[in-house]
Amino acid sequence: MADAEVSLSPALLHLSPSHAAPPPPPASTSPTTFSCPSSPSSASSSSSSSSSSCCSESSSDCPHHHHHRHPHRPQLQLPPPPNSEQPSSPSASPRSSSPSGSIGSTGSLGSSSEGIGSSGGSSSGEQRGPTPPLDAISEDAMEMDLGADQVIDPEVALKACQEVLLKVKLQNREVPDQQQVDNKQELDDHQQQQQQQEEEDNQQQQHQQDDHHHQQQQQDNQQKQTHPPCTDPTESSGPQWLISPDTSSIKEEDEEEVEEGGSGKDEVKQHGTSSQRDTPPPSSSRLESSSLLSASSSSKQSWLLRLFESKLFDVSMAIAYLYKSKEPGVQAYIGNRLFSFPDSEVDFYLPQLLNMYVHMDTEVGDAISPYLIHRCRGGITFSLLTAWLLGAYSSDMHISTQRHSRGNKLRKLILSDELKPSAPPADPQRGGSVSGSPASSPSNRRCHRRHNSHNVDSTSPFPSPDSPVPGESEVFVSPSRRTHQRSKSDATTASSGFGSGLRRTGSNPRVEAVPEELERLRPQRELVKSLLGIGRRLATLPTKEQKTQRLISELSLLNHKLPARVWMPTAENQHHVCRIPNTQAVVLNSKDKAPYIIYVEVLECDSFETSAVPARIPETRIRSARSAENLDCGGGVTAANANLSTMTSEHRTGSFSTVPNYDNDDEAWATDDIGQLQVEAQTSSSDNISQFSVDSITSLESREPVFIAAGDIRRRLSENLAQTPTSFRRDPEDPSAVALKEPWEEKVRRIREGSPYGHLLNWRLLSVIVKCGDDLRQELLAYQVLRQLQSIWQQERVPLWIKPYKILVMSSDSGMIEPVLNAVSLHQVRKQSQMSLLDYFLQEHGSFTTEEFLTAQRNFVQSCAGYSLICYLLQVKDRHNGNILLDSEGHIIHIDFGFILSSSPRNLGFETSAFKLTSEFVDVMGGLDGDMFIYYKMLMLQGLIAARKHMEKVLQIVEIMQQGSHLACFHGSSTIRGLKERFHMSLTEEQLQVLVEQLVDGSMRSITTKLYDSFQYVTNGIM
C-alpha cells in the first residue's frame, strides 16, 4: 500500500507543477482532447499508435492491444511495482496524459496526496520523483516488446491500465482521510494543471521517444486547437463530475439536463464541431467514481485486478461484476473496460446493460453511460436499438418517476439525435463492426443533408431519401449510371421551354440549410413507425381477409418511399431496403392482435449509413427485369419460362434495352426517340411473337395436321397437378399457412423474378414479423438465454440443436421478430395434411431407410432434446402445437416464449410436465426402444451437464433483467432460485441421468399435455 501511495503521489506531483507556468487553459478541455474514452490504455496507445490521424484508430485498436498484452502480463508484475529509482522518462507521460478520466482521479488524489504537497500547486521539484517507477515498467515492457518484435502500444496501454487500477487502490485509502467536498475551484485548477502537465509530458516524450514523436505533436496540436471552444456548458461541467459521491449523482443529472435541455441549434452545432466533446464523459466519470471507492482490502482488489486483466475476463464476466459489485471503482473500471470488448460481444448484453442503466443505482449508470453514449455516437443502429430498449425497460417504472428517469433522459437524448457522430478525426469507432462508420466525409454529409431536405418537403408517411426525385438520384448515382427514370423526366421537363417554377422545384433540393444531423435517425424511425402503425390499424379489422388486404394496400404506399436509408434491424448484413413486395405480406394467426409477416427486398452495401442509397427502379421494370435475370444468371427458372422471357428480352432490346444497360437506356429514352417508341408500343407486340414462337412453331413447321390424344392431355393435367403436392391449400382463415409453407428458396426466386431490383447482384430477401400490442421483452430474454445455451453447447460440443430467433424490442408493446424460415407450425401441418407427424415425415422426407428421412429424424431428435431442456430450464409453457414449428429439415422449433419462468397461462393446472413430449414425437424418434430415443435422452443429459457447467452465464442474463422488471416471468420471489435449482448443481452425473430419465418419463406420460392440447383445440381450434 505504501508503495502504491508513493508511486502514485509523485505522479501527481509531477503533474501539478507544470500547470503553474502556462496560462491556464480552460479547465475541462483536457478530457476531451483524448478522444479515446475507451480503456485506460487508450490514450497512451493512441499516442504510440503509428497512425497520425486520430484517436479513432486507437480506440478501435484497443481490444487488439489488450490481447497482445496478455502474454506479457505476468512479466509486468501487476500491480505495478512501486519503484522510485527511475528517472523521469517520457513514457510516464502517456500515463498521466492517459484517458482524460485520470484527471478527475488525480485531481482528487492530488489534493489528498498532498500529504506530500498539500495544495494543488505542488512543488515542481518533486515532479521527477513519481514518474520513475512507472517508467521503468514501461521501458521494460518496451524492451520486451522490441525483443518480441511486438508493437509498443500494448505495453503502454497496459501500463495505463495498471495505473488506473493503482490509483483506484490508492484512492480507496486516501479518500476517507481527505475532505470529500473539495473546492470545485481547486479541482478545476487541478485539472488545468494536469492538462498542462500532460502537454508537457508529451513534449518531453517527444524528445525522448522518436517513435512517438509524430503523433504526440499532433496530439498537442489537437489539444491546443480544442481549447478555445471549451465554452460548451457540458464541458465546463466536467469538473463537477469529480465531486464527491453524494453530490456527483445530482450534478451529473444536472449536467445531463443541460445536455438535453440545450437542444438549441447552437449547441447542436457545437456538438458537431467540437471534437473534444465526444470523449470526456467516459473517462471523467470513471475516474470520479473511482475516487469514490470505499475502502476495501487491497488484496481483494489485486485479485480482482488480476482477474480483470486476465484473458479469461470476457464480457459476460464484466457484466456479472458490473451487476454484483457494489464498489464504484470496480464498476467504473468495468465501464471503461467495455470499450475494449468487441462491439458485437457487448451488443449481446445490451439488454442487460440498459436494464442496469435504467433500474440500478447511479454508480452503475454512470459507469455505463460513457460507453453507451460513445456507441450511440458511433452508429444509427446502436442508437436506435438503445433508444427502443430504454423505452421498453423504463416502462415498468412508475409514470412519475419514469419521466425523470435516467433511462428516459438518455433515450430522449438519443432520439433528439444530438449524439451525432463526432467529427471524423475524433470518432473512435470508425470501422467498428456493427455500428459502421458514421457519415464522415463531406460528400456523405451532403448526401444526408440533401435527403433530409427532401424529407422535409415530402408529405410522405416516412421520408425517402431520394427515390423518385431526379435531383436526388443524381447525387448518389454517378452521371453515367443515371437511371432511366431520371432521363425520362429530363425529357419531360426539358421540352417545356418555360415555367421553371413547377414541381421540379419541389424536388429541387434547395433547402440545404437543414442540418443533416437532425435527421440521422429519422428515416428508420419513420419506417418503424409506419410498420407499427399498420399493425395497430389492422387490429381493428374484423377478418383476416380484410386485414391482409389492408396490409397489402398500406404496404404499397410504403413502397413509394423506397429505396431509402432504412434497414431491417434483424438482418446480419448492412443493406438498404429497396422494396417491399407488398402482395407477399400476410397476416399471421392471432386472436386479437394483428402480427404480420412482411418480406423485404434489400440491396446489400458496405455500410448502410454511408453507402449511397440505391436509385429507384419503377415497378413496371418487372418485365424486362425478369428476362434480364435469366440472361445474366440463367438459373432456377423452368425451361419454358426462360425460353419465353429470352424471346421477349431479345425482342425488346431492339427498342429499349433491358435493365443491365442503363446507360444505353438513357439514350434510348432520349426525347427524339420517344415518338418512335410510341409507335413501337402501339403496333408491335412482343408478347405475340414470343408466344408464337414457343407455342406454335411445332405446328407451323409441319403442314400435316398434328393429332393428340385427349387422354394425354388429361393425364398431363393430373400429373402437373400432382407435381406440387406439398403446397398447402389457401385458407382464408389461415392465410399465413401457404406463405410459410412455400420453401424459402422458392419464394426468393419468385419474388426476385417479380422484382424490378431482382437483377442486381446484391439483392437479398429478408423477412420480418411485425408485432404490435405484444410485449416482446420476455421473448428477448428467452432469445438471450437460448443464444447463451446454444453457444455453451457449441463450446462443449454437444450436438443439441436450437434456433434462437432474433427479437427486436421497440417498446413495451411492439417489436419485430425474425421469422424462422421454411417452417410451419405443427398445427398447420396437422390441419393441412391430416396425418400423423410420422406420416408427415415419411411424406416429406421419404421412407424409413432413406438418407433424407434419417437426417430429418436426427435433426428432429437433436432439436427435440435441445428444446426439451430449454422448456424445462426456462419452464416454457403454453406449448400447444401452434407454438411449435417444424422446419423443412425436420427440426422442431419452439416459438412464443410468452410464458416462461414464473408465469404460465392461467392457472388451470395444465402443463405440469417438464416439457412437451407427445407420443407422436416419440414415434418420429422411432419409438420408446429405438436407438434414436436413447440418443435423445443422452443428448439431454449431455446438454444438461454442459449447461450446468456454465450456469452462471445463463443465470446472470435472467437475474439482471429481473431488476426493476414487472414482467410476468419474474413474478414471485423465487424465480431465480427456481431457475438455479433446475440446474441441479448438487447432483452427480449419475443422479442427473436418473433425473433426465424421470423428466422424460414424466413428460411422456403426462396427461396434462394431452389435456392442454385438447383444451387448445376446443378453445382456439389449434390442432
> Contact at 8 Å (CB) between 308 and 162?
no
> Contact at 8 Å (CB) between 347 and 266?
no
User: With respect to other proteins, which residue has the nearer C-beta, 148 or 679?
Assistant: 679
Question: Which cell numbers in the block locate residue 1022?
Answer: 389449434
Query: Measured in Å, how far apart are the chain's first and last C-alpha atoms?
Result: 71
User: With respect to other proteins, which residue has the nearer C-beta, 229 or 468?
Assistant: 468
Q: Which stretch binds other proteins (CB under 8 A): 23-31, 302-310, 708-716, 894-902?
A: 708-716
Q: Kindly state whether residue 537 participates in binding other proteins, applying the rule CB under 8 A.
A: yes
Please list every residue from 461 through 480 that binds other proteins, using CB under 8 A. 461, 468
Please list every residue from 644 through 663 that binds other proteins, using CB under 8 A. 644
Question: Which cell numbers in the block locate residue 963?
Answer: 431488476
DSSP H or E segment with residue 488: helix 484-494
Q: Kindly state whether residue 727 participates in binding other proteins, applying the rule CB under 8 A.
A: no
Q: Kindly state whether residue 454 participates in binding other proteins, applying the rule CB under 8 A.
A: no
Angle between helices 184-208 and 2-20 (to 10 degrees): 90
Q: Which residues of 788-813 are buried (b: 16+ CB within 10 A; e: fewer)?
A: bbbebbeeeebebbbbbbbbbbbbbb
User: With respect to other proteins, which residue has the nearer C-beta, 668 or 944?
Assistant: 668
Q: Kindly state whether residue 574 participates in binding other proteins, applying the rule CB under 8 A.
A: no
Q: Kindly state whether residue 696 participates in binding other proteins, applying the rule CB under 8 A.
A: yes
Give the C-alpha separation, 896 to 898, whole Å: 5
Q: Kindly state whether residue 717 participates in binding other proteins, applying the rule CB under 8 A.
A: yes
> Contact at 8 Å (CB) between 431 and 607?
no
Q: 3-class SS at 903?
A: coil
Q: Kindly state whether residue 636 participates in binding other proteins, applying the rule CB under 8 A.
A: no
Contacts for 293 with CB less than 8 Å, ≥ 6 apart: 168, 171, 172, 175, 327, 328, 329, 330
Please list every residue from 237 through 266 that binds other proteins, using CB under 8 A. none
User: With respect to other proteins, which residue has the nearer C-beta, 696 or 998?
Assistant: 696
> Measured from the CB of residue 462, what is the shortest distance to other proteins in angstroms?
12
Please list every residue from 583 through 612 that binds other proteins, using CB under 8 A. 583-586
> Measured from the CB of residue 716, what is the shortest distance to other proteins in angstroms?
4
> Measured from the CB of residue 605, what is the shortest distance to other proteins in angstroms?
23
User: With respect to other proteins, which residue has the nearer C-beta, 53 or 553?
Assistant: 553
> Measured from the CB of residue 679, what is the shortest distance to other proteins in angstroms?
10
Give the C-alpha separation, 265 to 813, whole Å: 33
> Contact at 8 Å (CB) between 206 and 218?
no
Q: Kindly state whether residue 618 participates in binding other proteins, applying the rule CB under 8 A.
A: yes
Give the C-alpha separation, 867 to 879, whole Å: 11
Contacts for 33 with CB less than 8 Å, ≥ 6 apart: 100, 195, 219, 222, 223, 226, 276
Please list every residue from 864 through 923 that binds other proteins, using CB under 8 A. none
Q: Kindly state whether residue 687 participates in binding other proteins, applying the rule CB under 8 A.
A: yes
> Measured from the CB of residue 781, what is the shortest distance to other proteins in angstroms?
34
Q: Kindly state whether residue 143 participates in binding other proteins, applying the rule CB under 8 A.
A: no
Give the C-alpha separation, 802 to 872, whole Å: 14
Give the C-alpha separation, 857 to 890, whole Å: 6
Q: Kindly state whether residue 489 participates in binding other proteins, applying the rule CB under 8 A.
A: yes
Closest among 408, 324, 391, 336 to 368, alpha carbons compared = 336
> Measured from the CB of residue 820, what is the shortest distance to other proteins in angstroms?
21
Total binding residues toward other proteins, as defined by CB under 8 A:
82
Q: Kindly state whether residue 711 participates in binding other proteins, applying the rule CB under 8 A.
A: yes
> Measured from the CB of residue 458, what is the shortest distance to other proteins in angstroms?
9
User: With respect to other proteins, which residue has the nearer C-beta, 64 or 550?
Assistant: 550
Cis peptide bond N-terminal to 523, omega within 30: no
Give the C-alpha separation, 151 to 48, whole Å: 9
User: With respect to other proteins, which residue has the nearer C-beta, 316 or 584?
Assistant: 584
DSSP 806: -
Q: Kindly state whether residue 678 participates in binding other proteins, applying the rule CB under 8 A.
A: yes
User: With respect to other proteins, which residue has the nearer C-beta, 492 or 974?
Assistant: 492
> Contact at 8 Å (CB) between 428 and 35?
yes
Q: Kindly state whether residue 720 participates in binding other proteins, applying the rule CB under 8 A.
A: yes
DSSP H or E segment with residue 130: none
Q: Kindly state whether residue 491 participates in binding other proteins, applying the rule CB under 8 A.
A: yes
Q: Which of 246, 512, 545, 989 binds other proteins (CB under 8 A)?
A: 545
Q: Kindly state whether residue 743 participates in binding other proteins, applying the rule CB under 8 A.
A: no
User: With respect to other proteins, which residue has the nearer C-beta, 699 or 843?
Assistant: 699
Give the C-alpha separation, 110 to 120, whole Å: 7
> Measured from the CB of residue 570, what is the shortest distance to other proteins in angstroms?
22
Q: Kindly state whether residue 974 participates in binding other proteins, applying the rule CB under 8 A.
A: no
Contacts for 116 with CB less than 8 Å, ≥ 6 apart: 9, 13, 122, 126
What is the DSSP track for 169-235?
A: HHHHHHHHHS-SS--HHHHHHHHHHHHHHHHHHHHHHHHH-HHHHHHHHHHHHHHHHHSGGGG-HHH
Give the C-alpha separation, 552 to 554, whole Å: 6
Give the C-alpha separation, 38 to 281, whole Å: 11
Q: Which of 71, 214, 692, 928 binds other proteins (CB under 8 A)?
A: 692
Closest among 351, 350, 318 to 335, alpha carbons compared = 318
> Contact at 8 Å (CB) between 162 and 301?
no
User: With respect to other proteins, which residue has the nearer C-beta, 669 or 1015?
Assistant: 669
Q: Kindly state whether residue 695 participates in binding other proteins, applying the rule CB under 8 A.
A: yes
Q: Which stretch binds other proteins (CB under 8 A): 11-19, 215-223, 706-714, 929-937?
A: 706-714
Q: Which of 203, 217, 556, 661 binds other proteins (CB under 8 A)?
A: 556
Closest among 190, 229, 7 to 100, alpha carbons compared = 190
Please list every residue from 749 through 788 that binds other proteins, using CB under 8 A. 754
> Contact at 8 Å (CB) between 98 and 160?
yes
User: With respect to other proteins, which residue has the nearer C-beta, 115 or 618?
Assistant: 618
User: With respect to other proteins, which residue has the nearer C-beta, 429 or 483?
Assistant: 483
Q: Which stretch binds other proteins (CB under 8 A): 219-227, 293-301, 483-491, 894-902?
A: 483-491
Q: Kindly state whether residue 456 participates in binding other proteins, applying the rule CB under 8 A.
A: no
Q: Which stretch binds other proteins (CB under 8 A): 29-37, 681-689, 875-883, 909-917?
A: 681-689
User: With respect to other proteins, which residue has the nearer C-beta, 312 or 713?
Assistant: 713
Q: Kindly state whether residue 485 participates in binding other proteins, applying the rule CB under 8 A.
A: yes
Q: Kindly state whether residue 619 participates in binding other proteins, applying the rule CB under 8 A.
A: yes
Give the C-alpha separation, 859 to 855, whole Å: 6
> Measured from the CB of residue 547, what is the shortest distance to other proteins in angstroms?
10
Q: Kindly state whether residue 501 participates in binding other proteins, applying the rule CB under 8 A.
A: yes
Q: Kindly state whether residue 514 participates in binding other proteins, applying the rule CB under 8 A.
A: no
Q: Which stretch binds other proteins (CB under 8 A): 99-107, 213-221, 409-417, 582-590?
A: 582-590
